[in-house]
Amino acid sequence: MDRAQKEKVVEELGQIFESSGVVVVAHYTGLTVAEMQDLRARARAAEASVRVAKNRLAKIALEGKPCASIADYLSGMTVLTFSEDPVAAAKVAEGFAKDNKKFEILGGAMGETALDRAGVEATSKLPSRDELIATIAGMIGAPASNIAGAIGAPASNIASILSTIEEKAEAA
């Protein structure tokens, strides 16, 4: 790889570290090509990405970035799983690690917050951005439907009382 290519890789990695909500670092020694393709497919499905890069170039790209704390994890054969959603990459990495014992999660970062192995696992158990939005929308919509039901209830009660009175009057 010549100098221009290295500079391009460092720039790309810098953008990844700058814009990602979460970055997970893992060792992937012993994984087959098919297993790595499976990891990439899972990441794509969750709107996350997987990147293998030279540790030296990744450390250069980390300088001055919010997630610079992951530099300590960059040794050996490492793979980066990252996403804009602060939870998606952690969920993908945890799910893949459960299915593949050769995939060893080292840690990661969520913005400026460093995550150890347990931190990545805890992050993976959080609801995703889409799940949170759906929950909030449901909570906002619930009071409106309750109010509509409460406003409509007296009218239906009056209608049923009137129909009962009418039935009694017809029967008499």
The pLDDT profile of the chain, 172 residues, written as one tens digit per residue, is 788 888 998 899 888 888 888 899 999 988 999 999 999 999 999 999 999 989 899 999 988 888 888 888 998 899 999 998 888 999 999 999 999 999 999 999 988 888 889 988 988 888 777 777 777 777 776 666 666 666 666 666 666 777 788 888 887 6
Distances (CA, A) of 171 to 158, 160, 162, 168: 20, 16, 14, 5
Whether residue 89 contacts residue 22, with contact meaning beta carbons closer than 8 Å, is answered with yes
Give domain 3-126's CATH superfamily.
Ribosomal protein L10, N-terminal RNA-binding domain (3.30.70.1730)
- Map residue 103 onto helix, strand or coil: coil
pLDDT on residue 106 = 92
Nearest to 105 by CA among 68, 82, 69, 78: 78
List, in sequence order, every beta strand (DSSP E) within 31-166: 49-51, 78-83, 104-110, 113-115
Angstrom distance (rounded) from CA 57 to CA 61: 6
Determine contact, residues 108/24, Cβ cutoff 8 Å: yes
With tokens 């039901």, the residue in question is: 149
Dig out the tokens for 44 from the structure.
């794509």
Domain edges within the chain = 3-126, 127-171
Amino acid 45: pLDDT:
93
* Paired sense of beta strands 113-115 and 49-51, if any: unpaired
Element (H, E) at 23: strand 22-27
Contact between residue 55 and residue 75 where contact means Cβ atoms under 8 Å apart: yes
